[in-house]
Amino acid sequence: MKRIFKILGVVLLIIIAGAAIFLMTYQPEKYSDFGVFADLRSHVLTALQEHRATERPVTKDFQGFTLNLSFPFSKVFGSNAVGIPLASFETDRISVATISQFEVPPKSGYCRDFTLNIRPRYEYRAPVFHIDFMKPSPGVPGLCTADFFNVDTGNISLETFFGSELENVQKALSMVEKYQRTIKEGRGRITKYLDPWKSTYRIELKEPPTRDETVRREYYETAQSAIKLYLSAYLKSLYKLQPDPGYAQRHEEKTCEIVLALYKNDVAISLGKKIFKEQFRKYWLDGFWNVQVELKDEK
């Protein structure tokens, strides 16, 4: 019996040693986005400049900003540090238009994602435009979502908002149809809490599970083209609107509702609070939303 226990002990030590070596040496695989993320960043910045966008102070707050990561986040990201090249702007009709990415390691030029959030000023009856475009990560396929969140469906009509631009929105949808994630594949599962605000024009794409770079390039470039159509349609429609000062207070209240729902339920935000720590409020609440709400679990 003692011999059996000794053998089991040796086997257990080997397993533990193997696991330790794996954790010490593991690096997540890197994937090419074929220049799409950099092009989207440049394209959005150019589009905003055409509407005389000015830089918001939060951009300078995060200039050269680096997140130092501890285990297990250092293993998830494959680095002890991550750069956050955040850029935030405003215009006469846009309260906040923010681009954020995770650059691994800092100043390497390798970004895992591309995120854009545009919130209109409250006196305009317009949706929030949001994009999350992500490469594959450990245990998670590459995903791309883009949506026009309608924070007040009783007072904001997306069809009225887009008008003639609705044709381009539908064109973008048809371009990415074959990549749309199905319910069986998990479409909308972890964002079910956002259902009251999601639009019928929601893009939720899944990257093809292949190492064929030709197939992957087609996916990235098709999503890129659709996103550009969406952005163009959104900005053109927003700049056709007339302001409605009497609606501003209600619009602010309804916007705060989705912000609080995200803060309470979103998986990415839960992770963000852990890795950004005391910087999270400035990064997310100011950087992405520019709203004044009480986040009750903050210390």
- Asked, as a colleague might, if the bond just before 105 is cis with ω within 30 of 0, I would say yes
Percent of the chain scoring above 90 in pLDDT: 77
Closest CA to 119 of 156, 144, 154: 156
pTM of the model: 0.90
In the chain, the amino acid numbered 254 is: K
Contacts 24+ apart (CB under 8 A), 187-190: 190/267
Q: Where are the beta strands (DSSP E) in the chain?
A: 54-55, 66-68, 81-83, 87-90, 94-100, 113-120, 128-134, 143-149, 203-206
Spacing of C-alpha 115 from chain mean position:
4
Domains along the chain? 31-289 (3.40.1500.20)
* The pLDDT value given to residue 4: 56
How confident is the model over 142-154, as pLDDT tens digits?
999 999 999 999 9
Q: Average pLDDT for residues 55-83, to the nearest whole number?
A: 86
Which residues make Cβ contacts (< 8 Å) with residue 49, sequence separation at least 6?
Answer: none
Give the least confident one: 6-15, 27-36, 170-179.
Answer: 6-15
| Residue 63 predicted with pLDDT over 70 | yes
